[in-house]
Amino acid sequence: MFDGSAFRTWPLVFAGAIVFATMFVVLMLLVEQVLGSGAEPTRAVVGIGGAAFVGYVGTAWIIRLDLPEVHNRDR
């Protein structure tokens, strides 16, 4: 079902990580608007976005270790 095609090249990985982190930042801003004092980029918003970015890149790195076409191209 999942073949790892989104993780074949590093530009695709970083583009996906930026989109993923942006979704989390927007979600956090919406939550702060509804529950907090307003939609401001606080330390928590930046931290969640950064954690989402690093988590996506880390997961892609682990998945890329098992992709045979990545290993064959690098040699």
CA angle 21, 12, 1 (to 5 degrees): 90
Q: Sign of torsion, CA 54 60 63 66?
A: negative
| 62 token code pair | 């682990």
Q: Which residues are within 8 A (CB) of 40 and not within 5 positions of it... i.e. 6 or more apart?
A: 32
pTM for this one? 0.78
| DSSP-assigned letter for residue 42 | -
Any idea where the domains of the chain sit in the sequence?
8-68
pLDDT in tens, 19-63: 999 999 999 888 888 887 777 878 888 999 999 999 999 998 888
Spatial distance between the Cα atoms of 74 and 51, rounded to a whole number of angstroms? 29
